Amino acid sequence: MSPAESDGEVGAEADGEPSDGSNGASVESELVADVLDGKHRALARVISKIEDRSPGYRDIVSELHRHTGHAEVLGVTGSPGAGKSTLVDKLARTYRDQGETVGVIAVDPSSPYTGGAVLGDRIRMASNVGDMDVFFRSMSARGTLGGLSTATADAVKALDAFGKDRIIIETVGAGQNEVDIVRTADTVCVLVQPGSGDDVQMLKAGILEIGDVFVVNKADMDGAQRTVAELEEMIHMRQNPGKNLDTGHHGPVDEDEMADVAIDDAEEEAWDPEVVETVATSGDGIEELVETLAAHRTWLEDTGALAEKARTRYAAEIRQLLRADAARILEEELADRGGVDGLADRVVDRETDPYTVAAEVIEPIEECVRERRE
């Protein structure tokens, strides 16, 4: 049983939360206060509201946001079977041994019937069962590309405000679409299992771009060293596509070469992704991985990249929320006009065209926005 379940995540209405929305504001304020006081039951209920997009969840997240910015967020991704869950378990145990509190969000595939997490009831954190300072939550991807639901970022805020030192997001393996995790995690850890050419090809398809640390898990298997070598070569080519090429030029340094030197100096400040070997089942390599993750965190802070990541992440979140809200308003306007099917019928009959319909639907909204702006 997960901590979320043991803390009474199920049965919010039985705890006195009105189902009809009456007195909702006071309930939301109490939930926020309880989360900030470190009550696990309230944290579970808040994340449930966030995941379900229940009425009032935005007010809760808004209140919690001012108390965030302290946790270190790690994203763990990779192909199915790479050992992500076992590795996350060992990482959580290591951080707990260091005296830190941990929150884990495991984003699982969605059930086509219920929309819930297919793997939600599996035992994922065997080493941390019964430890109240490790909060585990399995969430449904709800069909979101990249396996990262839109609710995950808000759940991270809740865990951050709750006071977790480390937050680990483990995503379902979904190939290059896994890049969604970049918007939520400070450091991205990509797992690859040895001896799988498909995994390396997957990295070439795009996921290589998001990794800060690459982990060859199950490093005791045949083919591990070859996989490490392939990853290191790919990282080298990504960082320095033209480096070490023989240009045949041995004359005096000119302005172009001086420019190349300046570029090399700038590259010295860049993070060079590292490859770490682990055997998560036995814990081998976990300490080295933790040290590498800490080194990346230090680099983020020293170079200002951490603040830039946050700025980029919040800009994307603002755009996403605005798109969702605008889409809802437009759907309401379409419904008021008899529904999109009726408008489509008019287009089929050549009574109008899609551009004219779009202009007519958006016109009153534009007028309202223009009046407010003026």
Residues 144 and 43 grouped into a single domain: no
Angle between helices 57-65 and 40-52 (to 10 degrees): 120
Assess contact for 77 and 171: CB atoms under 8 A. Answer: yes
Domain presence at residue 256:
no
- Predicted pLDDT of residue 104: 95
- Predicted pLDDT of residue 268: 59
Residues 281 and 182 grouped into a single domain: yes
Residue 43: CA count within 13 A, CB half-sphere: 30
The token pair that represents 136 in the structure block: 């585990």
Domain presence at residue 179:
yes
What CATH number is attached to the domain comprising 193? 3.40.50.300
* Residue matched to tokens 């006081």: 37
| Class of residue 3 by CB neighbours under 10 A (exposed 0-12, middle 13-18, buried 19+) | buried
Residues 93 and 224 grouped into a single domain: yes
Measure the CA–CA gap between 187 and 210, rounded to whole angstroms.
Answer: 9
Domain presence at residue 215:
yes
Contacts with 93 (C-beta within 8 Å, 6 or more apart), sequence order: 127, 128
The token pair that represents 259 in the structure block: 């420019």
pLDDT band at 40 (very low <50, low <70, confident <90, very high): very high
Measure the CA–CA gap between 220 and 216, rounded to whole angstroms.
Answer: 10
- pLDDT tens digits for 71-89? 999 999 887 788 999 999 9
Q: Examine the pLDDT at 145 and tell me if it is beyond 60.
A: no
Measure the CA–CA gap between 173 and 75, rounded to whole angstroms.
Answer: 12
Residues 189 and 132 grouped into a single domain: yes
Looking at per-residue pLDDT, the higher value among 48 and 268 belongs to 48
Per-chain mean pLDDT for the chain: 81
Domain presence at residue 269:
yes
- 335-351: average pLDDT: 94
- Predicted pLDDT of residue 374: 80
Domain presence at residue 213:
yes
pTM of the model: 0.80
- 307-320: average pLDDT: 91
- Predicted pLDDT of residue 178: 61
Assess contact for 195 and 223: CB atoms under 8 A. Answer: yes
Residues 55 and 202 grouped into a single domain: no
Assess contact for 134 and 153: CB atoms under 8 A. Answer: no
Task: Please report the DSSP string for 62-122 in residue order.
Answer: HHHHTT-S-SEEEEEEESTTS-HHHHHHHHHHHHHHTT--EEEEEEEPBPTTTSSBTTTTS
- Predicted pLDDT of residue 127: 65
Residues 5 and 143 grouped into a single domain: no
Number of domains in the chain: 3
Q: Examine the pLDDT at 41 and tell me if it is beyond 80.
A: yes
Looking at per-residue pLDDT, the higher value among 49 and 207 belongs to 49
- 330-350: average pLDDT: 94
Q: Examine the pLDDT at 346 and tell me if it is beyond 50.
A: yes
Measure the CA–CA gap between 195 and 222, rounded to whole angstroms.
Answer: 7
- Predicted pLDDT of residue 212: 94
Residues 280 and 178 grouped into a single domain: yes
Domain span at residue 222 reads: 68-239+261-303
Residues 2 and 15 grouped into a single domain: yes
Of 134-148, 162-176, 271-285, 296-310, which range is least confident? 134-148
> Positive or negative, the Cα torsion across 141, 146, 148, 149?
negative
Domain presence at residue 248:
no
Residues 297 and 323 grouped into a single domain: no
Residues 203 and 228 grouped into a single domain: yes
Residues 77 and 200 grouped into a single domain: yes
Assess contact for 171 and 148: CB atoms under 8 A. Answer: yes
- Predicted pLDDT of residue 157: 96
Measure the CA–CA gap between 175 and 345, rounded to whole angstroms.
Answer: 39
The token pair that represents 287 in the structure block: 């300490």
Q: Examine the pLDDT at 124 and tell me if it is beyond 60.
A: no
Q: Examine the pLDDT at 20 and tell me if it is beyond 50.
A: no
Q: Examine the pLDDT at 339 and tell me if it is beyond 90.
A: yes
Residues 74 and 223 grouped into a single domain: yes
